[in-house]
C-alpha cells in the first residue's frame, strides 16, 4: 500500500525547538476532523456520541460537544469521572460491563452528577446492578451489548440477545433503553470487505432491536461504533446513534480505509534522530513507550514517518525506534534531525502521554493535559 | 512450553476486595529477587547497576541500593530527575544518547546534584556534549556504547568502536570511563543459544575495551546489560558491571530462560472476569491498557493466568482480554471472579500504571507511586 500513500506534510515549523519525543496535535486538522464527522452524523440523521478513549482530553470532549455531540462514550468509570468533573459532560455511556462492588459504588456516585447509561451483556452483571440501584432508590438506563461478529463481549445478535434482554427487562430498577454493538471486526477486515461486514453487523443489530420491541422491551436507541465502519453502519435505517473515536486524530491504520492520507492525521509523535550507527540505519527516540506496540495493517513497521513513506520503523524497543532507510543518502536522518511519526493506532499512544502539545501554524500554542490517561478502572 | 510451566500460586487472598485491573506486587518475592541478583553480582565480583526502567519506583530503587547496588541505570533524563529527587540516588548512568539542546541543559542541571555518566555512540552527540560541558566549566563521564550483535544503537565492537572512541577521547571536557553493551539479542534467542550469544557479546566488549586501552583511552568500566544474559556475561573476565532490570519482578518472557516459574514473578495484574459470552470464552478487564501489547516468546497469548496454564489470553483490545478456556467447566471464570495475570513483558506494563499495590501475606499493605512512569524525555 505504501506506493499509494502521500508523503504528507509536517505540522511543526523546523525552527520550533522541542524536547522529544512529544505528542503534537495540529489544531486545524483536529477541528476539521471533528466538524466533518459531526456533519456526517447530521446529514444521515443519527446522534453522535464519540468515544473519548482516543483523546482522553476534556478540552477535546468540549469541542465535540460544542460541535453537536449528544454526549460521550467512555470505556471505564475512571474516564467518566474525569469527563464529568473537567469537561462538564452531562450524558455519559459506559460502553463496558460494570462488575464488582467498588465499581457499582462509583457508578452510583456518578449517577448523582450526570445521566449515566451502562452496557450490559450478562444477567449476572445486570442483577448486581439491579440490586444496587433498587437499594439506592434509583433507576439505571442500560444498553444491551450485542455481538454482531466481533466475538468479544456481547450475546449474539438475534435469539440469544433477545433471551438475555427479556431476562434483564424483568429486573427492577434497570431499563433497557438501547442496544449497542462494536463492529470492530469490520474495520479489521481487508478494505474491500469493510462495507459489507459493517452493513451486516448494523442490520443484525437493528433486527435484534426489533425482536426486543416485539417482545415488549421499549428499545429506542440503536447504537453502532467505530471509525472504520462509520461511513456504512449509521446509514442503515433504524440505527440512531454512532460512537466513533479515532476520527478526531486518525492514524496509520486508518490509511487502509482509503478515506484519508497523512495530512488528515492530527496527532503525531515528534521524535529526534539520536544515533546513526550505520548508513542504512537511524535510531529515533520514539519506541514503544511513545508509539505503543500495536501493529498496522496498512503499512509495514511501527508508524509512518511524514515525508518518508519508504522509510520503515522496522523494530521498536521501549525507547528506540530502529529506522531502515530506503537509501543511504535519504535526507533528514542526521543526528539531531526531527521527524514526525503517525502512530499505527492512536488510542494506546495517547494513553502513554501526559500532555498534548497543540500546534497552530507550525508553532506550539498550548499544552492540554490527557486527564483521562491511564484510567483503566 | 506450557506443559513445563507450573500453574503458580496467587498472591492475593480471595477475600481481599480490590477494584481492578490493578498491578499488585508481592513484597516477599520482590525482596527475594533483589537479594538473589545482588548476591550473584557479589559472588562473581561485578558491580550491580540495575536498570530502573522495569519498576520506575523510587521505593524499589532504594531497596536495590540498600542491597548493594553501586548506582542505577536510566534510559531517559526524566527518569534520572525523578530518581535523584525522590530516591536520593547519587550515581546515575543514562544508557541512552543525549541529543538536543533541551536535554543537554537538563543534563547539566542534574550534574549539579549527582554523579552522571552518559552513553554515547556518535561523534556528533559527543561533540555537542563536549561543547556544552566546556562552556559550563565541567567534565562529563561517558560510556562508549558498543554494538555486540543487537544492531540497535552503538558502533560495532572492534575497529569501528575503537575509531569512534579515539575520536571522542580527543574532545575536551568529556572522558570515556567505560564501554557498555546491551546484549538484548542474546535474550531474544532460542533458550539453548542464549548462553553462547551472551558470551560472544561479552567477549567482544572486553576485547573492545582492551583495544581502547592499548590506544591510550583509560577505560575502567566494562558494563553488560539484560536479565536474560545475566548468568553468562558478568562471569567473563574483564567485565566489571552488570545492568539487569527485569529481575526485580520477572515476567512471562522470562519463563523461557528456565530459571524461574510463575512463583518468582512478583508483579501481576489482578483482573476481573466481566463477561462470559460463551462457554469457551471469558472476558477479563485487562487489555492492552493494563497488559501492554508485547508478545511473549515463551507462552501463547497476552499473559499467563496464574493457576490456569492452559487458558489463553488469545486477543486483547484496549480494555478487553479475550480468554479462551481449555474446557467449558474450567473453574474460576464466572462473572465477578478474579484472576492474576503475569504480563508478557513487565517493563511496558509498569509504564501503564500509576501505582503499585504492595501485597504482604495476601493483603494489600501499601501503595507505591510509579513516579518515573511516562518519562519518555
Would you identify the CATH topology of the domain B28-247? TIM Barrel (3.20.20)
- Give the pLDDT confidence of B252-304 residue by residue, as tens digits: 888 766 768 899 999 999 999 999 999 999 999 999 999 999 988 777 899 99
* For residue B1, pLDDT beyond 50: no
Residue A93 exposure: Cα atoms within 13 Å on the Cβ side: 32
CA distance B332 to chain A (A): 15
- Give the pLDDT confidence of B310-337 residue by residue, as tens digits: 999 999 999 999 999 999 999 999 999 9
Other beta carbons within 10 Å of B49: 26
DSSP A270-298: EEEEEEEEETTEEEES--HHHH-S---SS
Which of A1-15, A236-250, A281-295 has the least mean pLDDT? Answer: A1-15
* For residue A2, pLDDT beyond 70: no
- Give the pLDDT confidence of A309-328 residue by residue, as tens digits: 999 999 999 999 999 999 99
CATH-assigned architecture of domain A28-249: Alpha-Beta Barrel (3.20)
Global pTM value? 0.96
Of B42, B65, B41, B43, nearest to B52 by C-alpha is B65
B100: nearest CB among A19, A154, A374? A19
Mutate to test the interface with B, among A51, A128, A274 (most CBs of B within 10 A): A274
Contacts of B122 in chain A (CB under 8 A): 275-277, 335
Residue B243 exposure: Cα atoms within 13 Å on the Cβ side: 24
SS3 state of residue A24: strand
CA distance A98 to chain B (A): 7
- Give the pLDDT confidence of B15-37 residue by residue, as tens digits: 999 999 999 999 999 999 999 99
Nearest CA in chain B to A105: B19
Measured CA to CA, the distance from residue B154 to residue B41 in angstroms comes to 25
Sign for the CA dihedral angle at A360, B104, B205, B146 comes to: positive
* For residue A224, pLDDT beyond 90: yes
Residues A101-111, mean pLDDT to the nearest whole number: 98
Other beta carbons within 10 Å of B252: 26
Contacts of A158 in chain B (CB under 8 A): none
* Inter-helix orientation angle A58-67/A27-44, to 10°: 40
How buried is B36 (Cβ within 10 angstroms: 0-12 exposed, 13-18 middle, 19+ buried)? middle
Task: Output the pLDDT for position A256.
Answer: 62
CATH-assigned architecture of domain B2-25+254-369: Beta Barrel (2.40)
- Give the pLDDT confidence of B84-132 residue by residue, as tens digits: 999 999 999 999 999 999 999 999 999 999 999 999 999 999 999 999 9
CA distance A295 to chain B (A): 9
Measured CA to CA, the distance from residue A190 to residue B313 in angstroms comes to 24
Tell me the three-class secondary structure of chain B, residue by residue: CHHHCCCCCCCCCCCCCCCCCEEEEEHHHHHHHHHHHHHHHHHHCCEECCEHHHCCCHHHHHHHHHHCCCCEEECCHHHHHHHHHHCCCCEEEECCCCCCHHHHHHHHHHHCCCEEEEEECCHHHHHHHHHHHHHCCCCEEEEEEEECCCCCCCEECCHHHHHHHHHHHCCCCEEEEEEECCCHHHHCCCHHHHHHHHHHHHHHHHHHHHHHHHCCCCCCEEEEECCCCCCCHHHCCCCCEEECCHHHCCCHHHHHHCCCCHHHCCEEEEEEEEEEEECCEEEECCCHHHHCCCCCCCCCCCCEECCCCCCEEEEECCCCEEEECCCCCCCCCCCCCEEEEECCCHHHHHCCCCEEEEEECCEEEEEEECCCCCCCC
Task: Output the pLDDT for position A296.
Answer: 83
- Give the pLDDT confidence of A255-303 residue by residue, as tens digits: 766 768 899 999 999 999 999 999 999 999 999 999 999 988 777 899 9
Are A5 and B361 within 8 A, CB to CB?
no
Task: Output the pLDDT for position B3.
Answer: 43
Are B270 and B22 within 8 A, CB to CB?
yes
Contacts of B121 in chain A (CB under 8 A): 275, 277
- Cβ separation B99–A288 shorter than 8 A: no
Mutate to test the interface with B, among A12, A119, A152, A185 (most CBs of B within 10 A): A152
Distances (CA, A) of A191 to A229, A232, A262, A298, B231: 11, 13, 18, 10, 48
Indicate the DSSP class of residue A136: T
Distances (CA, A) of B40 to A266, B44, B200: 50, 6, 20
Nearest CA in chain B to A153: B277
* For residue A3, pLDDT beyond 60: no
Residues A233-262, mean pLDDT to the nearest whole number: 90
Task: Output the pLDDT for position B261.
Answer: 86
- Give the pLDDT confidence of A144-192 residue by residue, as tens digits: 999 999 999 999 999 999 999 999 999 999 999 999 999 989 888 888 8
- Cβ separation A153–B275 shorter than 8 A: yes
Which of A123-132, B134-143, B182-191, B283-292 has the least mean pLDDT? Answer: B182-191
- Give the pLDDT confidence of B147-195 residue by residue, as tens digits: 999 999 999 999 999 999 999 999 999 999 999 999 989 888 888 889 9
Contacts of A97 in chain B (CB under 8 A): 274-275, 283, 335
Q: How many helices (H) and strands (E) does chain A have?
A: 10, 18
Nearest CA in chain B to A323: B152
Query: Angle B102-B103-B104 (CA atoms, 0-180°, nearest 5)?
Result: 95
Q: Please tell me which residue, B254 or B344, carries the higher pLDDT value.
A: B344
Residues A18-36, mean pLDDT to the nearest whole number: 98
ipTM for the predicted complex: 0.96
Are A48 and A69 within 8 A, CB to CB?
yes
B96: nearest CB among A155, A319, A376? A319
Task: Output the pLDDT for position A299.
Answer: 75
> What is chain A's mean pLDDT, rounded?
95
Contacts of A96 in chain B (CB under 8 A): 274, 319
* For residue A4, pLDDT beyond 80: no
Residues B204-216, mean pLDDT to the nearest whole number: 98
Task: Output the pLDDT for position B43.
Answer: 98
Are B357 and B364 within 8 A, CB to CB?
yes
Residue extents of the structural domains in chain A = 2-25+254-369, 28-249
Amino acid at each position: 500500500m505504501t506506493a499509494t500513500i502521500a508523503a504528507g506534510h509536517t505540522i511543526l515549523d523546523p525552527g520550533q525547538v522541542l524536547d522529544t519525543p512529544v505528542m503534537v496535535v495540529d489544531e486545524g486538522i483536529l477541528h476539521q476532523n471533528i466538524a466533518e464527522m459531526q456533519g456526517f452524523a447530521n446529514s444521515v440523521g443519527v446522534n453522535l456520541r464519540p468515544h473519548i478513549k482516543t483523546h482522553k482530553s476534556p478540552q477535546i470532549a468540549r469541542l465535540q460537544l460544542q460541535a453537536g455531540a449528544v454526549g460521550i462514550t467512555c470505556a471505564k468509570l475512571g474516564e467518566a469521572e474525569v469527563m464529568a468533573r473537567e469537561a462538564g459532560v452531562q450524558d455519559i455511556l459506559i460502553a463496558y460491563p460494570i462488575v464488582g462492588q467498588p465499581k457499582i459504588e462509583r457508578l452510583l456516585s456518578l449517577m448523582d452528577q450526570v445521566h449515566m447509561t451502562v452496557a450490559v451483556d450478562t444477567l449476572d452483571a445486570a442483577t448486581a446492578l439491579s440490586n444496587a440501584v433498587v437499594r439506592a432508590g434509583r433507576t439505571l438506563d442500560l444498553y444491551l451489548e450485542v455481538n454482531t461478529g466481533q466475538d468479544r463481549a456481547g450475546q449474539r445478535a438475534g435469539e440469544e440477545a433477545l433471551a438475555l434482554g427479556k431476562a434483564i427487562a424483568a429486573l427492577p430498577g434497570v431499563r433497557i433503553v438501547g442496544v449497542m454493538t462494536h463492529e470492530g471486526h469490520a474495520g479489521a477486515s481487508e478494505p474491500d470487505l469493510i462495507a459489507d461486514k459493517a452493513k451486516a453487523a448494523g442490520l443484525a443489530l437493528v433486527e435484534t432491536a426489533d425482536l426486543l420491541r416485539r417482545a415488549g422491551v421499549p428499545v429506542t436507541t440503536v447504537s453502532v461504533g467505530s471509525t472504520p465502519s462509520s461511513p456504512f453502519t449509521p446509514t442503515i435505517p433504524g440505527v440512531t446513534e454512532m460512537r466513533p473515536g479515532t476520527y478526531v486524530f486518525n492514524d496509520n491504520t486508518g490509511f487502509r480505509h482509503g478515506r484519508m492520507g497523512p495530512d488528515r492525521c492530527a496527532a503525531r509523535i515528534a521524535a529526534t534522530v539520536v544515533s546513526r550507527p550505520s548508513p542504512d540505519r537511524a535510531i529515533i527516540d520514539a519506541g514503544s513507550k511513545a508509539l505503543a506496540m500495536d501493529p498496522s495493517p496498512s503499512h509495514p513497521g511501527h508508524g509512518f514517518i511524514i515525508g518518508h513513506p519508504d522509510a520503515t520503523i522496522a523494530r521498536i524497543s521501549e525507547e528506540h525506534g530502529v529506522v531502515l532507510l530506503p537509501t543511504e543518502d535519504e535526507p533528514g536522518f542526521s543526528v539531531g534531525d526531527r521527524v514526525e511519526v503517525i502512530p499505527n493506532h492512536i488510542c494506546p499512544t495517547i494513553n502513554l502521554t501526559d500532555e498534548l502539545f497543540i500546534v497552530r501554524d507550525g508553532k506550539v500554542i498550548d499544552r492540554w493535559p490527557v486527564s483521562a490517561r491511564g484510567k483503566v478502572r
